[in-house]
Amino acid sequence: MSNYYFPKGFLWGTASSSYQTEGNNQNSDWYIEEQLDGMKPGPERRLNGPCGIACDHWNRYREDYDCAEELGVNIHRTSIEWSRIFIEEDQTDKTALEHYKQMLMNLNARGIKVMLCLHHFTIPRWVYEKGGLENRNYILEHFKRYAQLIVRELGEFVDYWLPVNEPNIIAINGYFSGLFPPYRKKPLQYFKVLKTILQMHLAAYDIIKNDYPERPVGVSFAFLHFQPFNHKNPIDRISTKITDRLMNLILLEGINGGRFHFFHRKHMNLRGGKQKLDFMGVNYYSTRYIKGMHPIKSKSGDIVTDMGWIHYPKGLEDVLQYLHRNFSIPIMITENGVPTGNESERIKYIHEHLRVIAQAIENGVDIRGYMHWSLTDNFEWDMGYSMRFGLVHIDYKTQQRTIKEGGRWLAKIIRENSIALDP
Ligand code: BGC
């Protein structure tokens, strides 16, 4: 059996987000929508229950970081809840800021590097009430103030920055498929919102670089991999290309070169948008088939996760090759993981994806780290608590944490900095 050894200094990490784990975030758009949703009769509900106290990470972060330390990670990706810091447009909560400082310092003290995200899907209630991402000038102005405050107060504890998580998913789920607040299905709004998010990234980039020019700033991008349902069908092939452009490429090119265009016709030129990205964060889970104009999750014979997504490590290979060809910046895997209650499946999934990463590094792709989604089980947005992505199991009744078999398996890989290349 041959083994692959990852480069010295390879970053091994876990990822999580504030809203999904902290609990009691009552000042955000999601909280408002969850309350309204709960009042609707069963069939009309869109969400799988409210977030509630989630993993109570706000109070139990030390226990979670004990687990991270036990797993042996050298980096942890987390986020700040904007709505906890700015409780009103002009009112900040100093206690919450201090609390975040303690959390980050706790990671620092354990020798675990911090990758900090400023915006992971949720926005404060008062921004939501003013139109949220559709009110471009307003959200930009206030996002900048928030970014300035966090950089000033917490910047010294942060090693890597992510201004926004998954710009494409925010826009797709909020404005195209209507799965996330504000539940719109308006393609034109989708483009408008994409541009707003891009501008939020660019503005925060400048703010961070102004104080910390050496700290890398990236984006964690949801690489939605698509393939024709039937490779021989020209309609499936063409709509796969269109979907890819619509959901991935326009934004990727915008972030990379500052130009936002569809099918090579320039729509907008974002001034100063050039090279405001020090690394590309890859969030990769699965692929989707495109049949006619419709996405299809799986075919018979596919191995399917609890979410209905298929195991498709080849998609990650394609993404890494695309980035290698088109981007000349380092890559970090900022999310990869599997919702399952079956630990053999988790181990198989992680192993297959790590093998792809190992092979890509061997082929010259500059990949600096792997952050597994997620450290603990947590609130999976519209799916509620039904999905278990964690390396650490959470008993939601007792809040007890237990490292899963998959977690122990990954801990060994991390310790040895190496994986078996054979299945
Ligand atoms: C998001 C996470 C989410 C994960 C699994 C990503 O889209 O950043 O918040 O839990 O995928 O669905």
pLDDT at residue 38, rounded to an integer: 92
Burial of 423 (0-12, 13-18, 19+ CB in 10 A): exposed
- Is the CB of 169 within 6 Å of ligand 1? yes
pLDDT at residue 262, rounded to an integer: 58
Give the separation between CA 208 and CA 342, rounded to whole angstroms.
41
Put simply, whether the predicted model's pTM sits higher than 0.75 gets the answer yes
pLDDT at residue 188, rounded to an integer: 87
Residue whose CA lies nearest to ligand 1 atom number 3: 380
Lowest mean pLDDT among 40-49, 268-277, 309-318: 268-277
pLDDT at residue 423, rounded to an integer: 73
The tens digit of pLDDT for each residue in 140-160 reads 999 999 999 999 999 999 999
The tens digit of pLDDT for each residue in 68-83 reads 999 999 999 999 999 9
- Is the CB of 104 within 6 Å of ligand 1? no
pLDDT at residue 266, rounded to an integer: 46
Q: pLDDT class for 283, splitting at 50, 70, 90?
A: very high
Would you state the structure tokens that stand for residue 242, as one six-digit string?
């269109």
Q: pLDDT class for 274, splitting at 50, 70, 90?
A: low
Q: pLDDT class for 257, splitting at 50, 70, 90?
A: low
| pLDDT over threshold 60, residue 268 | no
pLDDT at residue 260, rounded to an integer: 63
Give the separation between CA 150 and CA 80, rounded to whole angstroms.
9
CA of 378 to the centre of ligand 1 (A): 10
The tens digit of pLDDT for each residue in 10-34 reads 999 999 999 999 999 999 999 999 9
pLDDT at residue 265, rounded to an integer: 45
CA of 4 to the centre of ligand 1 (A): 28
Q: 409-413, long-range: CB within 8 Å, 24+ apart, which pairs?
A: 409/343, 409/346, 409/347, 409/350, 410/71, 410/350, 410/372, 411/70, 411/71, 411/72, 413/12, 413/354
pLDDT at residue 275, rounded to an integer: 77
- Is the CB of 166 within 6 Å of ligand 1? yes
pLDDT at residue 261, rounded to an integer: 62
- Is the CB of 221 within 6 Å of ligand 1? no
- Is the CB of 180 within 6 Å of ligand 1? no
pLDDT at residue 422, rounded to an integer: 81
pLDDT at residue 200, rounded to an integer: 95
CA of 1 to the centre of ligand 1 (A): 34
| pLDDT over threshold 90, residue 326 | no
Whether 80 and 116 have beta carbons less than 8 Å apart is answered as yes
The tens digit of pLDDT for each residue in 164-223 reads 999 999 999 999 999 999 999 998 898 899 889 989 999 999 999 999 999 999 999 999
Would you state the structure tokens that stand for residue 107, as one six-digit string?
């990671």
- Is the CB of 78 within 6 Å of ligand 1? no
Q: Give the mean pLDDT of the chain.
A: 94
- Which atom of ligand 1 is least distant from the CA of 373? 4
Would you state the structure tokens that stand for residue 185, as one six-digit string?
């299905």
Pocket test for ligand 1, best of 373, 378, 386 (most atoms within 8 A of CB): 373
pLDDT at residue 33, rounded to an integer: 97
The tens digit of pLDDT for each residue in 237-247 reads 999 999 999 89
Q: What percent of the chain has pLDDT over 90?
A: 88
DSSP state of 7: P
pLDDT at residue 53, rounded to an integer: 97
Give the separation between CA 167 and CA 260, rounded to whole angstroms.
14
Give the separation between CA 35 and CA 391, rounded to whole angstroms.
30
pLDDT at residue 195, rounded to an integer: 87
- Is the CB of 283 within 6 Å of ligand 1? yes
Residue 54 Cα to chain centre, angstroms = 18
308 or 261: which leads in pLDDT: 308
Q: pLDDT class for 271, splitting at 50, 70, 90?
A: very low
* DSSP H/E element including 412: helix 405-416
pLDDT at residue 139, rounded to an integer: 98
